[in-house]
Structure 1
Protein backbone atom coordinates (compact mmCIF):
# COMPACT_ATOMS: atom_id res chain seq x y z
CA UNK A 1 0.00 0.00 0.00
CA UNK A 2 2.82 2.40 0.87
CA UNK A 3 4.41 1.84 -2.54
CA UNK A 4 1.11 2.70 -4.23
CA UNK A 5 0.78 5.88 -2.19
CA UNK A 6 4.35 6.83 -3.00
CA UNK A 7 3.68 6.28 -6.72
CA UNK A 8 0.61 8.48 -6.56
CA UNK A 9 2.53 11.16 -4.66
CA UNK A 10 5.30 11.03 -7.26
CA UNK A 11 2.74 11.67 -9.99
CA UNK A 12 1.24 14.59 -8.10
CA UNK A 13 4.70 16.11 -7.71
CA UNK A 14 4.76 16.55 -11.43
CA UNK A 15 5.68 13.28 -13.14
CA UNK A 16 3.93 13.38 -16.49
CA UNK A 17 4.35 12.69 -20.18
CA UNK A 18 3.62 15.43 -22.67
CA UNK A 19 3.38 15.54 -26.41
CA UNK A 20 4.20 18.69 -28.38
CA UNK A 21 1.24 19.71 -30.52
CA UNK A 22 0.62 22.11 -33.36
CA UNK A 23 -2.25 24.59 -33.03
CA UNK A 24 -4.61 24.09 -35.96
CA UNK A 25 -8.16 24.98 -36.86
CA UNK A 26 -8.79 23.53 -40.30
CA UNK A 27 -11.69 21.24 -41.03
CA UNK A 28 -10.85 17.65 -42.00
CA UNK A 29 -13.22 15.58 -44.11
CA UNK A 30 -13.38 11.82 -44.53
CA UNK A 31 -14.61 9.63 -47.34
CA UNK A 32 -16.85 7.27 -45.42
CA UNK A 33 -16.45 9.20 -42.20
CA UNK A 34 -16.29 12.95 -41.69
CA UNK A 35 -14.43 14.49 -38.78
CA UNK A 36 -15.66 17.69 -37.15
CA UNK A 37 -13.52 20.73 -36.45
CA UNK A 38 -11.81 20.77 -33.07
CA UNK A 39 -9.56 23.22 -31.28
CA UNK A 40 -6.16 21.88 -30.32
CA UNK A 41 -3.91 22.88 -27.47
CA UNK A 42 -0.13 23.07 -27.48
CA UNK A 43 0.32 20.26 -25.03
CA UNK A 44 -1.53 17.23 -23.75
CA UNK A 45 -0.85 15.67 -20.36
CA UNK A 46 -2.12 12.13 -20.14
CA UNK A 47 -2.35 9.71 -17.26
CA UNK A 48 -4.41 6.60 -16.67
CA UNK A 49 -5.35 5.74 -13.10
CA UNK A 50 -6.22 2.23 -11.98
CA UNK A 51 -7.36 2.21 -8.33
CA UNK A 52 -4.47 3.80 -6.43
CA UNK A 53 -1.77 3.12 -9.00
CA UNK A 54 -0.95 5.59 -11.75
CA UNK A 55 -0.01 3.93 -15.04
CA UNK A 56 1.88 6.17 -17.46
CA UNK A 57 1.75 5.45 -21.18
CA UNK A 58 3.98 7.03 -23.80
CA UNK A 59 2.41 7.81 -27.17
CA UNK A 60 5.02 7.98 -29.92
CA UNK A 61 5.83 7.15 -33.52
CA UNK A 62 7.16 3.65 -34.10
CA UNK A 63 10.70 2.93 -35.30
CA UNK A 64 12.52 -0.05 -36.77
CA UNK A 65 13.40 -1.10 -33.22
CA UNK A 66 9.70 -1.87 -32.68
CA UNK A 67 9.42 -4.21 -35.63
CA UNK A 68 9.31 -7.54 -33.79
CA UNK A 69 6.65 -6.26 -31.38
CA UNK A 70 4.58 -4.83 -34.23
CA UNK A 71 4.75 -8.15 -36.10
CA UNK A 72 3.59 -10.02 -33.00
CA UNK A 73 0.74 -7.58 -32.41
CA UNK A 74 -0.41 -7.84 -36.02
CA UNK A 75 -0.42 -11.62 -35.65
CA UNK A 76 -2.32 -11.49 -32.36
CA UNK A 77 -4.82 -8.98 -33.79
CA UNK A 78 -5.51 -11.18 -36.80
CA UNK A 79 -5.72 -14.40 -34.83
CA UNK A 80 -7.93 -12.98 -32.09
CA UNK A 81 -11.16 -13.29 -34.06
CA UNK A 82 -10.23 -15.54 -36.95
CA UNK A 83 -7.64 -18.30 -36.75
CA UNK A 84 -5.85 -18.29 -40.08
CA UNK A 85 -3.97 -21.59 -39.84
CA UNK A 86 -0.92 -19.75 -41.20
CA UNK A 87 2.56 -20.51 -39.93
CA UNK A 88 3.83 -17.63 -37.76
CA UNK A 89 7.40 -17.84 -39.07
CA UNK A 90 6.17 -17.44 -42.65
CA UNK A 91 3.97 -14.50 -41.69
CA UNK A 92 6.82 -12.93 -39.74
CA UNK A 93 8.98 -12.72 -42.87
CA UNK A 94 6.15 -11.14 -44.86
CA UNK A 95 5.20 -8.64 -42.17
CA UNK A 96 8.80 -7.67 -41.38
CA UNK A 97 9.42 -6.92 -45.07
CA UNK A 98 6.32 -4.71 -45.13
CA UNK A 99 7.34 -2.86 -41.96
CA UNK A 100 10.89 -2.26 -43.18
CA UNK A 101 9.51 -0.54 -46.27
CA UNK A 102 6.83 1.31 -44.30
CA UNK A 103 9.12 2.61 -41.56
CA UNK A 104 11.92 3.53 -43.96
CA UNK A 105 9.52 5.30 -46.30
CA UNK A 106 7.43 8.44 -45.96
CA UNK A 107 3.92 7.20 -46.75
CA UNK A 108 3.28 5.21 -43.57
CA UNK A 109 3.18 6.49 -40.00
CA UNK A 110 2.61 4.20 -37.04
CA UNK A 111 1.67 5.46 -33.60
CA UNK A 112 2.13 3.23 -30.57
CA UNK A 113 1.23 3.40 -26.89
CA UNK A 114 3.95 2.02 -24.64
CA UNK A 115 3.84 1.06 -20.96
CA UNK A 116 6.99 -0.13 -19.18
CA UNK A 117 8.72 -0.72 -22.50
CA UNK A 118 5.89 -2.83 -23.94
CA UNK A 119 3.73 -1.73 -26.88
CA UNK A 120 0.11 -2.20 -25.85
CA UNK A 121 -1.74 -0.33 -28.61
CA UNK A 122 -1.13 1.00 -32.11
CA UNK A 123 -2.74 2.85 -35.01
CA UNK A 124 -1.44 3.00 -38.61
CA UNK A 125 -1.81 5.85 -41.08
CA UNK A 126 -1.12 5.54 -44.81
CA UNK A 127 -0.75 8.75 -46.78
CA UNK A 128 -2.58 8.48 -50.11
CA UNK A 129 -1.31 10.94 -52.70
CA UNK A 130 -3.71 12.66 -55.07
CA UNK A 131 -3.20 14.06 -58.56
CA UNK A 132 -2.39 17.81 -58.28
CA UNK A 133 -4.90 20.37 -59.57
CA UNK A 134 -4.20 23.88 -60.89
CA UNK A 135 -4.08 26.44 -58.11
CA UNK A 136 -4.13 23.77 -55.39
CA UNK A 137 -1.46 22.09 -53.29
CA UNK A 138 1.41 20.70 -55.40
CA UNK A 139 1.40 17.54 -53.28
CA UNK A 140 -2.13 16.82 -52.02
CA UNK A 141 -2.80 13.72 -49.94
CA UNK A 142 -5.24 12.27 -47.45
CA UNK A 143 -4.82 9.67 -44.71
CA UNK A 144 -6.13 6.12 -44.51
CA UNK A 145 -6.43 4.91 -40.90
CA UNK A 146 -5.97 1.17 -40.43
CA UNK A 147 -4.67 -1.62 -38.16
CA UNK A 148 -6.02 -0.10 -34.96
CA UNK A 149 -5.45 -2.53 -32.09
CA UNK A 150 -5.15 -2.53 -28.30
CA UNK A 151 -4.19 -5.44 -26.10
CA UNK A 152 -7.35 -6.85 -24.44
CA UNK A 153 -6.28 -6.02 -20.88
CA UNK A 154 -5.79 -2.34 -21.80
CA UNK A 155 -9.07 -1.77 -23.63
CA UNK A 156 -11.75 0.72 -22.55
CA UNK A 157 -9.11 2.89 -20.85
CA UNK A 158 -8.98 5.67 -23.45
CA UNK A 159 -5.76 4.58 -25.16
CA UNK A 160 -7.28 4.46 -28.64
CA UNK A 161 -8.53 8.02 -28.28
CA UNK A 162 -5.12 9.24 -27.11
CA UNK A 163 -3.35 7.62 -30.06
CA UNK A 164 -5.95 9.04 -32.43
CA UNK A 165 -5.45 12.52 -30.98
CA UNK A 166 -1.70 12.25 -31.61
CA UNK A 167 -2.37 11.08 -35.18
CA UNK A 168 -4.83 13.89 -35.82
CA UNK A 169 -2.50 16.58 -34.56
CA UNK A 170 0.31 15.24 -36.73
CA UNK A 171 -2.05 15.14 -39.70
CA UNK A 172 -3.12 18.75 -39.21
CA UNK A 173 0.48 19.85 -38.87
CA UNK A 174 1.47 18.06 -42.08
CA UNK A 175 -1.47 19.27 -44.18
CA UNK A 176 -3.26 15.94 -44.48
CA UNK A 177 -6.56 16.91 -46.15
CA UNK A 178 -8.79 14.37 -44.39
CA UNK A 179 -8.85 10.95 -42.76
CA UNK A 180 -10.72 7.95 -44.10
CA UNK A 181 -11.32 4.50 -42.61
CA UNK A 182 -13.46 1.40 -42.89
CA UNK A 183 -14.62 0.55 -39.35
CA UNK A 184 -15.52 -2.88 -38.11
CA UNK A 185 -18.96 -3.29 -36.57
CA UNK A 186 -17.45 -3.28 -33.08
CA UNK A 187 -15.43 -0.10 -33.65
CA UNK A 188 -18.20 2.19 -34.96
CA UNK A 189 -18.91 3.66 -31.51
CA UNK A 190 -15.23 4.32 -30.90
CA UNK A 191 -14.88 6.37 -34.08
CA UNK A 192 -18.16 8.15 -33.40
CA UNK A 193 -16.82 9.21 -30.00
CA UNK A 194 -13.79 10.61 -31.81
CA UNK A 195 -16.08 12.72 -34.01
CA UNK A 196 -16.02 10.66 -37.20
CA UNK A 197 -19.33 10.61 -39.05
CA UNK A 198 -20.63 8.71 -42.03
CA UNK A 199 -20.33 10.23 -45.48
CA UNK A 200 -22.01 9.47 -48.78
CA UNK A 201 -19.13 10.86 -50.84
CA UNK A 202 -17.22 7.63 -51.43
CA UNK A 203 -18.14 4.53 -53.44
CA UNK A 204 -16.66 1.05 -53.37
CA UNK A 205 -16.30 -1.68 -55.97
CA UNK A 206 -15.43 -5.22 -54.97
CA UNK A 207 -14.49 -8.28 -56.99
Structure 2
Protein backbone atom coordinates (compact mmCIF):
# COMPACT_ATOMS: atom_id res chain seq x y z
CA UNK A 1 0.00 0.00 0.00
CA UNK A 2 1.15 3.57 -0.62
CA UNK A 3 -0.42 4.61 2.69
CA UNK A 4 -0.67 2.47 5.79
CA UNK A 5 -3.08 3.63 8.50
CA UNK A 6 -2.49 2.04 11.90
CA UNK A 7 -4.91 2.83 14.72
CA UNK A 8 -4.22 2.67 18.47
CA UNK A 9 -2.58 -0.74 19.14
CA UNK A 10 -1.71 -1.28 15.46
CA UNK A 11 1.98 -0.46 15.14
CA UNK A 12 2.46 -0.59 11.36
CA UNK A 13 1.02 -1.81 8.07
CA UNK A 14 -2.67 -1.26 8.72
CA UNK A 15 -4.29 -1.28 5.27
CA UNK A 16 -7.27 1.11 5.35
CA UNK A 17 -9.28 -0.26 2.43
CA UNK A 18 -9.10 -3.85 3.72
CA UNK A 19 -10.27 -3.09 7.25
CA UNK A 20 -12.33 0.11 7.00
CA UNK A 21 -13.02 1.74 10.36
CA UNK A 22 -14.51 4.99 11.54
CA UNK A 23 -12.02 6.96 13.62
CA UNK A 24 -13.25 8.06 17.03
CA UNK A 25 -12.26 10.88 19.35
CA UNK A 26 -9.41 9.63 21.51
CA UNK A 27 -7.85 7.38 18.85
CA UNK A 28 -4.23 7.81 17.83
CA UNK A 29 -3.45 7.13 14.19
CA UNK A 30 -0.11 6.39 12.54
CA UNK A 31 0.17 7.31 8.87
CA UNK A 32 3.08 5.67 7.04
CA UNK A 33 3.61 6.56 3.40
CA UNK A 34 6.09 5.91 0.62
CA UNK A 35 6.82 8.17 -2.34
CA UNK A 36 8.64 7.06 -5.48
CA UNK A 37 10.18 9.85 -7.57
CA UNK A 38 12.43 9.26 -10.57
CA UNK A 39 12.96 5.67 -9.49
CA UNK A 40 13.95 6.49 -5.90
CA UNK A 41 11.89 5.95 -2.77
CA UNK A 42 11.38 7.95 0.39
CA UNK A 43 9.51 6.69 3.44
CA UNK A 44 7.95 8.63 6.30
CA UNK A 45 5.48 8.20 9.15
CA UNK A 46 3.70 10.38 11.68
CA UNK A 47 1.30 9.63 14.54
CA UNK A 48 -1.55 12.06 15.14
CA UNK A 49 -4.38 12.34 17.66
CA UNK A 50 -8.05 12.22 16.75
CA UNK A 51 -9.59 15.06 18.75
CA UNK A 52 -8.89 15.10 22.47
CA UNK A 53 -6.78 12.16 23.64
CA UNK A 54 -5.57 10.86 26.98
CA UNK A 55 -2.52 12.70 28.37
CA UNK A 56 -0.52 9.46 28.43
CA UNK A 57 -1.24 8.92 24.73
CA UNK A 58 -0.12 12.47 23.91
CA UNK A 59 3.07 11.88 25.89
CA UNK A 60 3.67 8.67 23.91
CA UNK A 61 3.30 10.61 20.64
CA UNK A 62 5.53 13.48 21.81
CA UNK A 63 8.21 11.15 23.15
CA UNK A 64 8.32 9.06 19.98
CA UNK A 65 8.66 12.23 17.87
CA UNK A 66 11.46 13.42 20.17
CA UNK A 67 13.23 10.06 19.76
CA UNK A 68 13.11 10.49 15.98
CA UNK A 69 14.66 13.95 16.22
CA UNK A 70 17.36 12.75 18.64
CA UNK A 71 18.18 9.90 16.26
CA UNK A 72 18.46 12.34 13.35
CA UNK A 73 20.68 14.62 15.44
CA UNK A 74 23.03 11.66 16.12
CA UNK A 75 23.28 10.68 12.44
CA UNK A 76 26.29 12.03 10.58
CA UNK A 77 29.10 10.77 8.43
CA UNK A 78 31.71 8.86 10.45
CA UNK A 79 29.30 7.98 13.27
CA UNK A 80 27.97 4.45 13.72
CA UNK A 81 24.43 3.15 13.54
CA UNK A 82 24.99 2.47 17.26
CA UNK A 83 25.00 6.25 17.86
CA UNK A 84 21.58 6.59 16.24
CA UNK A 85 20.14 3.51 18.00
CA UNK A 86 21.44 4.70 21.38
CA UNK A 87 19.95 8.18 20.92
CA UNK A 88 16.52 6.74 20.10
CA UNK A 89 16.68 4.10 22.82
CA UNK A 90 17.62 6.61 25.55
CA UNK A 91 14.46 8.61 24.91
CA UNK A 92 12.19 5.55 25.08
CA UNK A 93 13.86 4.05 28.14
CA UNK A 94 13.61 7.34 30.04
CA UNK A 95 9.80 7.03 29.81
CA UNK A 96 9.82 3.23 30.30
CA UNK A 97 8.07 2.68 26.96
CA UNK A 98 8.22 -0.60 25.12
CA UNK A 99 10.69 -0.11 22.28
CA UNK A 100 9.69 -2.28 19.32
CA UNK A 101 12.67 -4.45 18.36
CA UNK A 102 11.18 -6.56 15.58
CA UNK A 103 10.68 -3.60 13.22
CA UNK A 104 13.47 -1.13 12.46
CA UNK A 105 14.60 1.73 10.26
CA UNK A 106 16.44 0.87 7.07
CA UNK A 107 18.28 2.03 4.02
CA UNK A 108 16.11 3.37 1.23
CA UNK A 109 16.77 4.15 -2.43
CA UNK A 110 15.88 2.05 -5.49
CA UNK A 111 13.89 -0.19 -3.12
CA UNK A 112 11.86 1.00 -0.16
CA UNK A 113 13.70 -1.40 2.20
CA UNK A 114 17.45 -1.73 1.67
CA UNK A 115 20.43 -2.38 3.93
CA UNK A 116 21.49 -1.26 6.41
CA UNK A 117 19.04 -1.92 9.20
CA UNK A 118 18.75 0.95 11.67
CA UNK A 119 17.45 -0.42 14.99
CA UNK A 120 15.87 1.69 17.71
CA UNK A 121 17.70 -0.18 20.46
CA UNK A 122 21.13 -1.53 21.29
CA UNK A 123 21.75 -5.23 21.78
CA UNK A 124 24.65 -7.64 21.49
CA UNK A 125 22.60 -9.62 18.95
CA UNK A 126 22.69 -6.56 16.64
CA UNK A 127 26.43 -5.92 17.12
CA UNK A 128 27.37 -6.23 13.44
CA UNK A 129 24.62 -3.84 12.31
CA UNK A 130 25.26 -1.38 15.14
CA UNK A 131 28.96 -1.16 14.28
CA UNK A 132 28.30 -0.15 10.68
CA UNK A 133 29.67 3.32 9.94
CA UNK A 134 27.39 5.93 8.42
CA UNK A 135 28.97 7.32 5.25
CA UNK A 136 28.15 10.62 3.56
CA UNK A 137 25.73 9.95 0.73
CA UNK A 138 23.89 7.12 2.47
CA UNK A 139 20.11 7.45 2.59
CA UNK A 140 18.39 5.79 5.55
CA UNK A 141 15.23 6.00 7.57
CA UNK A 142 15.09 6.48 11.30
CA UNK A 143 11.85 4.94 12.50
CA UNK A 144 11.13 4.76 16.24
CA UNK A 145 8.08 2.78 17.31
CA UNK A 146 7.27 3.02 21.01
CA UNK A 147 4.49 1.18 22.81
CA UNK A 148 2.69 2.39 25.92
CA UNK A 149 3.12 -1.12 27.34
CA UNK A 150 5.64 -3.83 26.49
CA UNK A 151 7.84 -4.09 23.40
CA UNK A 152 6.19 -7.35 22.35
CA UNK A 153 4.21 -7.42 19.13
CA UNK A 154 1.98 -9.81 17.19
CA UNK A 155 1.21 -10.23 13.51
CA UNK A 156 -2.47 -10.26 12.54
CA UNK A 157 -3.98 -13.03 10.45
CA UNK A 158 -3.85 -10.71 7.42
CA UNK A 159 -0.10 -11.33 7.38
CA UNK A 160 1.03 -7.70 7.47
CA UNK A 161 -0.61 -5.68 10.27
CA UNK A 162 1.53 -5.65 13.42
CA UNK A 163 -0.01 -4.70 16.74
CA UNK A 164 1.04 -4.53 20.37
CA UNK A 165 0.75 -7.85 22.17
CA UNK A 166 -0.89 -6.26 25.22
CA UNK A 167 -3.39 -4.17 23.23
CA UNK A 168 -1.99 -0.83 24.44
CA UNK A 169 -1.36 2.04 21.98
CA UNK A 170 1.75 2.49 19.88
CA UNK A 171 3.26 5.58 18.22
CA UNK A 172 5.45 5.62 15.11
CA UNK A 173 7.47 8.37 13.46
CA UNK A 174 9.85 8.15 10.51
CA UNK A 175 11.91 10.38 8.25
CA UNK A 176 14.14 9.56 5.31
CA UNK A 177 17.49 11.30 5.76
CA UNK A 178 20.63 11.86 3.73
CA UNK A 179 23.82 11.35 5.70
CA UNK A 180 26.31 14.20 5.27
CA UNK A 181 29.70 14.84 6.81
CA UNK A 182 28.26 17.41 9.19
CA UNK A 183 24.93 15.80 10.03
CA UNK A 184 21.75 14.65 8.35
CA UNK A 185 19.47 16.31 5.83
CA UNK A 186 15.80 15.39 6.25
CA UNK A 187 14.40 14.49 2.82
CA UNK A 188 10.79 14.00 3.95
CA UNK A 189 10.16 17.22 5.89
| Structure ranking higher in strand proportion | 2
- TM-score, normalised by the number of residues in structure 2: 0.29
TM-score by length of 1: 0.28
Task: Specify which structure has the higher proportion of helix.
Answer: 1
Higher Rg of the two aligned structures: 1
